[in-house]
Structures are given as structure tokens and as C-alpha cells.
A and B are shown apart, each in its own frame.
Chain A
């Protein structure tokens, strides 16, 4: 498109492009900054998308771009798929969606690096610095691509959520990683070799699969965050290839974001990253020992819960993923509304791993019109616990298990939990006494101040809402 401009303007195009990329970078940074408050977050996202639009439009001025058939076709196809996917996806399926988008981003970066190598008249003339970054970009991008596709398959239930392992897996993965790095070196030495490039692609794609298959469904929040980070790093590596600062900077920002979220998720699950990646832990529905049936629990019913909560000053709700599985967010909101009408203060305490990706539960509750100022994070809700009358625990188990603080031999010992036992009374909504996916018994079930409300979360909450209506 640049070629259609008058010659006097053509000379200025490279400068205009670079300055526009600078503006786009500022829009990205301000956009992310605005994402730090729910009031401004939507605007922040719009600013970032504006930055992206500017970057795309200004790139079309590049004098190397001579044909538009592929560009128009690519944008139309990708745009339609993207819009439809974004509109249709259910909020519960957000982790899968983000995983898949990560994969596409990583895959695109690897393809751009490959394309840059192919379009070079003489790859040997590219120079070591460019070829080595092509290799790195292919490596990271391809791992991100297949890793994300596997993560998507696991979250969708197309691939078993249980860890898939085989003997010697770690050594095998390590060898493939080393081989991958070696082939980056070989490709740098002989950039025209289609064989080396092909092997590098093969090894990286395989490594992505092998890295994610041994990771259990419960650890997926960590994996998605990590893949998010890698998709950023892949973009950054591609920035080195085409020598573009906007790519390098944006990729680095995303890399940092993903890394921070990975760390947060690991901390909240009390796991080390190496342990998540190599531990093969946390399959869904792992064989759980039956809870000791001979111990006494207090049972309660809808009318009793209705009376207890409506005569409280402060009620805290601790939702877990079981709530979302039962699709009970909207009924829960109805219950909360009824309580607020009766002058009860209602707050929601969200544990970082309550959903299937960081912040997932907050989105699910926001979808049910729960105002965000009622959503408290773990530290905030823990400060409120001693002054709370009733805690309703719905579809959550491990995140409120006091064993994390009291039993050094428990697998979840050291994991940060919500201190529900500090409240006056707890009511657990649960199907049965069986422990959660981690197979760990919960002392809280048998506590004097605790009552069990057995049944499906949605049914129980519907009954509770009806009882509250009649009060």
C-alpha cells in the first residue's frame, strides 16, 4: 500500500510506522494498567484493541506488502472464527477458549518465523542472529501450539483429565528438549536446511504434547497460565526475527503476565511449578477413600438454613467449582438478593483456585449479576470471618479444609485456605460426605458448629430461595 503514496511521503513512511508502533505500545501499556480496576477495565481492553488496530493498519503501509489477496482472506477467515467463538463460548468454558487462543497465538508466531526463513532469497545471508531467533520462535511457538491443544482437549473432556504417564517420561522429555535446542543450533549453522527445520518443528510439536499429557485436570489453571506466558514469549521471539520492538515489548508484557499468574496459582495450590509439570498429580475423580461413616455430622434442611441466614447480620458465601458445574450461580444470586432484602449483609469469598483458571469464579458470578464489590479475595474474606454469623460453603471443599493449617501430614498442608471455622457457624452444601478430588477428608464436616445440607447444589439453593420467599 505504501507504494501508492506520492514519493515525498514514501520517504517518511518508515518513521511514521515506527512512531505509530510507539503509540500502539503506549496504548497496550495503558490498557493493561486500566485492567487493574473493574471500573476502568473495559476501557483498558478497548484501548489495547485500538493499539492493535493501529499496529495492523500501519503495517499495511510497509513497502514490502504488495499483494492483498492473502491478507484480506486471512483477516476475514480469522476474524469471523474469532468473533463467533468469542460470542458463543459459555463462561464456564472460558479456560478452554483461552487455552485455544493461546495455542493459535503461539502457532502464528512459529509460522511467521518459518515464513521469514522461506521468503528470504538466500537464508544463509540472514545472519546468525536472525536464524537463531527463528529457531527459538519455532521452538516456543510450536510447544505452545500443541500444548494448548492438549490442554483444550483435557478441559473439554475429549482427552482424559487424568495424568497420562509412561516409564522414563521425564528423561524422555528432557532428551527431546535437549535435542530441540541442539537443532536450533544446527539450523543456525545451516539455515537453508529444510531437514533441520522439519526436525525442529517435529520435536517442538511433540514436546508440547508430552509436556501437557502428564498433567492432571486439577492443575490446568497452572498450565493455562504457563501457556499464556509462552505465547507471549513466542511473540517476543518473533519480534527478534523481524526486528520489531512492538512485538518484543508486547510479547514480554504478556510473558510477564502469564508468569505472575502461574506463580500465584502455584502458591494458592501449595505446589511448586516443577511439581506441577513433573508430578503427574491431581487427576479428576481420582480414587477417593470413603469418608469414615461412623462419625456424627449435623444435618440441616432448607427451612432451617433459611431461618438461620435471615436472622443473621452477616452471611459469607464460599463458592467452589461445584457451584458452576451445577449451573447454580443464578439461583445463588436469588438467595443473596432475598437475604439482602431482609437487611442481611452478603459477601462472597473467592479462593484463587475456586474456578478452573485464575479469576474464573469471579467471571462466573459476574455473569449471574453479582456486583463485583461483593466479591472478596481470600485475604479480605479471612479478615471478615470472625465477625460473620453464617458461612455457606457451596461446591467447595479443600479450600476451606482446616487440615491445611493443622495437619502437617496432610497433602494440602500449607495451602492457603479460607478460615471458615472462625465464623459462628458453617453450612456445607454437598451431595455426600465424600472428599473432593484430592481425596482428603475434611474435619470441618464433623465440627459442632457445622451443619451439612445434603443434595445437589442447584436443588438445595432453589429450595432455600423458596423458603426465604415465605419467611
Chain B
């Protein structure tokens, strides 16, 4: 199986896993779910690191730097704000 086809299989399977898992999340948690998922989509940071850290092209380094700033804001901000929200969700007995 050539690369792109294999990758497509992975993509489609992961989408199904995503649908199954996320349809179980209660409405109460939809905002944290979205901001948490948002942070996970910052996984593109891995690509940004490779582009910013290579030495073949200086132009690409600058592009990689910009990508890295964007992705890091997405990842760090996303996880931090999700944590801040979830910290507020308390049960009655916890008071």
C-alpha cells in the first residue's frame, strides 16, 4: 500500500474512533471538550519544530518559527484554559 493510501486508512479509522468517543461527552462539558480538542489540534507543533530546527533553508526557518509561535499559543493556551475551566466544575458534596 503506498504512503498516501495507508495514511488515508489511518485517517478514516481515527475519524470513526473520534465520532464514537465524542458522542459520549455530556453537553455540560462541551466547551472544555472543544477547547481541549483545540489544544490537541496544535499537534501540528511537531511539524513546526522540524521546520524551525532544520538548517537547509533560512526562509523555511523563519516560516517554521512563525508556525511554532502559532502552534505553541494553541497548545499551551488551549490546555491551560481547559484546565482553568475544568477546575471550576465541582460536585455539590465537595463544598
Name the residue of chain B whose CB is nearest to the CB of A80: B76
**Which one of A64, A82, A101, A224 contacts B54 once the chains associate, using CB atoms below 8 Å?**
A64
Q: Do A111 and B67 touch (CB < 8 A)?
A: yes
Render A183-196 as a binary contact track against B, CB cut-off 8 A, 1 for contact: 00000000000000
Q: Does A208 contact B (CB under 8 A)?
A: no
Could you show 17 A-B contacts with beta carbons less than 8 Å apart? A41-B32, A42-B87, A52-B39, A52-B79, A66-B55, A68-B53, A82-B74, A86-B81, A116-B60, A243-B3, A254-B37, A255-B15, A256-B18, A264-B27, A358-B27, A359-B32, A371-B91
* Shortest Cβ distance from B62 into A: residue: A70
Per the 8 Å Cβ criterion, residues 17-42 of B in contact with A are 17-19, 21-42
**Which residues of the other chain, B, contact A36 by a CB distance below 8 angstroms?**
21, 24-26, 29
The answer to whether A366 touches B89, judged by C-beta atoms less than 8 angstroms apart, is yes
A86–B29 touching, CB < 8 Å: no
Which residues of A sit under 8 angstroms from B61, Cβ to Cβ? 67, 70
Q: What residues of chain A lie closer than 8 Å to B59, measured between beta carbons?
A: 118
Q: Is B4 touching A66 in the complex (CB atoms < 8 A)? A: no
A65 pairs with B24, CB closer than 8 A: no
Given contacts A45-B36, A45-B86, A98-B31, 7 further A-B contacts (CB under 8 A): A32-B40, A46-B83, A70-B64, A79-B76, A86-B80, A261-B22, A264-B30
Return the contact of B75 from the options A65, A67, A73, A82 (Cβ within 8 A).
A82
Whether B30 pairs with A119 at a CB distance below 8 angstroms is no
CB distance from A360 to the nearest CB of B (A): 5
Closest 10 CB pairs of A and B: A78-B72, A256-B18, A359-B30, A74-B68, A82-B77, A82-B76, A65-B53, A86-B80, A111-B67, A115-B51
Structural contact, B55 and A246, CB atoms closer than 8 A? no
A260-B19 CB under 8 A given contacts A70-B65, A366-B90: yes
Binding site for A on B (CB under 8 A): 2-4, 7, 10-12, 14-19, 21-57, 59-92, 94-95
Are the CB atoms of A129 and B80 closer together than 8 Å? no
Instruction: Give the interface SS of chain B, mostly helix, strand, loop or mixed.
Output: helix
CA distance A366 to B46 in the complex (A): 34
B41 touches A251 (CB 8 A): yes
The answer to whether A102 and B38 touch across the interface, beta carbons within 8 angstroms, is: yes
* A 365-409 binary contact with B (CB < 8 Å = 1; else 0): 011010111110110000000000000000000000000000000
Q: Pick the residue among A65, A250, A375 that contacts B41 (CB under 8 A).
A: A250
Query: Which single member of A114, A241, A253 contacts B18 (CB below 8 Å)?
Result: A253
Question: 8 Å CB contacts to B: which residues of A93-138?
Answer: 94, 97-98, 101-102, 104-105, 107-109, 111-112, 114-116, 118-119, 121, 129, 133
Given that A86-B76, A248-B11 are contacting pairs, would A357 and B86 also be in contact in the complex, using a CB cutoff of 8 Å?
no
Contact of B71 among A78, A118, A246, A248 (CB under 8 A): A78
Beyond A111-B66, A253-B14, whether A105 also contacts B41 by CB under 8 A is yes
A66–B67 CA distance with the chains assembled, in angstroms: 18
A252 at the binding interface (Cβ < 8 Å): yes
**Would you call A42 and B49 a contact (CB within 8 A)?**
no
Q: Which residues of A contact B48 (CB under 8 A)?
A: 74, 108, 111-112, 115
Q: How far is the CA of A257 from the CA of B40 in the complex (A)?
A: 11
Chain A residue numbers with a CB within 8 Å of B16 are 256
In the bound complex, residues from chain B placing their C-beta under 8 Å from that of A81 are 69, 73, 77
CB–CB B25/A38 < 8 A = no
A contact residues around B75 at 8 Å (CB): 52, 78, 82
Partner of A377, one of B27, B45, B92: B27
Query: Is the Cβ of A108 less than 8 Å from the Cβ of B19?
Result: no
Chain B CB within 10 A, most for which of A78, A89, A259, A352: A78
